[in-house]
Amino acid sequence: MRVKRFLLLIFSCIVITSLVAAISPSGHEFSYFDHPSCFKSPTNIPNNRTSSLMRYPFSLSPECTVWTRTCSEEVLKLAKQPENVQWLKSVRRRIHQNPELAFQEFETSRLIRDELTKMEVSFRFPMAVTGIRAVIGTGRPPFVAVRADMDALPIQEAVEWEHKSKVAGKMHACGHDAHVAMLIGAAKILKTREHHLKGTVILLFQPAEEAGNGAKMMIRDGALENVEAIFALHVSYQHPTSVIGSRPGPLLAGCGFFRAVISGKEGRAGNPHRSVDPVLAASAAVISLQGIVAREANPLDSQVISVTSFNGGNNLDMIPDTVVLKGTFRAFSNTSFYQILQRIEEVIVEQASVFRCLATVDFFDKESTIYPPTVNDESMYEHVRKVASDLVGPTNFRVVPPIMGAEDFSFYSEVVPAAFFYIGIMNETLGSVHTGHSPYFMIDEDVLPVGAAAHAAIAERYLNEHH
């Protein structure tokens, strides 16, 4: 008798499910957000679930054995459900109001862990002080990773709005609050579709992108364990909201900094022959540094050397004993980058010696301020292009030029095949037109569900096509 009742209950649930799908109002399709009440939550799911958590016991979505555009559309529908969009905005705004600098993202990390716990997503913490490595899927290969950075900047926000930063002198002026919200949103979608996953998705919430140490420390702590590919995005004020852009090969430059100390002999300015003038030596070095790019670099291989600081004495009647030069250098390949580094040291040291001075050059390698170039693997770029074209349409995917900015995602790309891409936030009506690191930086929040869907579709489709 109990068996008959159980079979009858199952049959009733199936009938109700079909009826719900059939009679849903126009424009509303049955999805993971909606399910008949006869499907009880599993006993290991807490009863105090927040309403933002998607339910996922059954679905009428496609199985996606072979990935099609319909699969991408299903992911995007999940992301754009009204209750999900409101939740994404609330997550981003909470993070925006409480910005935390590199390796201080304690409350941001706590918020992420709380949301993951509500979804019953397992994670490893801590990594790199405040970082998190979350896991969704089968626990078996293939493993694909998606990364978001968490840190804010030491900038006073100048945008007047309801959710302005509450912390004086700190602001999410580079969109990392949105990056975190999108990846949490992707976690919800992927958990909802976990039964579709043909492998394992690793979600990396990384501290200290701005400081340059975050990615290296995450890798050191095992973030890329078993991972065979990794993806990440960055919001861009240069593209209209939700337009996606990337390119194969070099996307962002390698970046380094230097500090040179040129030492001579102090003396009276009226008797220069009794001194050894480091100002003259430093001036010659600055001019000679420009010849590295102008006369030694291939004109088709973009490189930059900029001296940004020149500090000597402050006595108008004295030749100082030292001059300190500071600057930065950029290149799009590791070969060019490290060749520039070598030549900067050689030119400064040798030019100093011409004027009887001594020189030392520090590249801050102990502080990990050297970023290698961010180079997109061609097959991973192509994967992003296909997913983006399905999600936002081929006309809303753009091949972008490389730029001289730098990103510590480059450390991941040195270890496993990787692709980095942009997603637009430009909206002139809202005032979302300012570059990152500006006190007026803001984003069009309509990008949040699209970014979440992009992360989720990139990960799920990768597993589908590489299992």
* Cα dihedral across residues 329, 331, 336, 337: positive or negative: positive
Tokens 């998606």 identify what position?
A: 146
Predicted pLDDT of residue 87: 98
Answer whether 234's CB lies under 8 Å from 420's CB. yes
Please report how the helices 334-354 and 278-291 are oriented relative to each other, as an axis angle in degrees rounded to 10: 150
What burial letters (b/e) apply to 64-92, b meaning 16+ CB within 10 Å?
Answer: beebeeebbbbbbbbbbbeebbebbbebb
Written as one letter, the residue type at 66 is V
Q: Which amino acid makes up residue 82?
A: P
**Do 55 and 31 form a contact (C-beta atoms < 8 A)?**
no
What is the pLDDT averaged over residues 3-22?
Answer: 49
**Any known ligand binding at 383?**
no
Mean pLDDT, range 288-308, rounded to an integer: 95
Q: Which residue has the higher pLDDT, 15 or 253?
A: 253
Residue 116 pLDDT > 60: yes
pLDDT at 171: 98
Summarize pLDDT for 235-246 with one digit per residue, the tens. Answer: 999 999 999 999
Q: Are 425 and 432 in contact (CB under 8 A)?
A: yes
- Between CA 249 and CA 252 the distance in angstroms is 9
Mean pLDDT over the full length of the chain: 89
* pLDDT over threshold 80, residue 50: no
- Is residue 27's pLDDT more than 50? no
Residue 21: pLDDT above 50? no
Mean pLDDT is lowest, of 12-21, 201-210, 220-229, 315-324, for 12-21
Mean pLDDT of 50-78: 71
Angle, in degrees to the nearest 10, between helices 447-466 and 69-79: 140
Check pLDDT > 90 for residue 39: no
Residue 437 is assigned to a ligand binding site: yes
Output the pLDDT for position 12: 54
Q: What is the pLDDT of residue 73?
A: 95
In this prediction, residue 41 carries a pLDDT of: 33
Q: What does DSSP say about strands 322-331 and 254-263: parallel, antiparallel, or unpaired?
A: antiparallel
Once rounded to an integer, what is the mean pLDDT over residues 202-214? Answer: 92
Place 35 in a pLDDT band, splitting at 50, 70 and 90.
Answer: very low
**Of 20-29, 53-62, 168-177, 181-190, which range is least confident?**
20-29
β-pairing, 397-399 with 244-246?
Answer: parallel
- Tell me how far apart the alpha carbons of residues 199 and 459 are, in angstroms, rounded to a whole number: 10
Q: What's the confidence (pLDDT) of residue 64? A: 86
**Of residues 44 and 342, more confidently modeled:** 342
Q: Please tell me the predicted confidence (pLDDT) of residue 289.
A: 98
Is 176 within any annotated ligand binding site?
yes
Where on the phi/psi map is residue 253: left (φ > 0), alpha (ψ -120 to 50), or beta? beta
Task: Kindly indicate the confidence band of residue 275, based on its pLDDT and cuts at 50, 70 and 90.
Answer: very high
Confirm or deny that 466 is annotated as ligand binding. no
- pLDDT tens string 130-139: 999 999 999 9
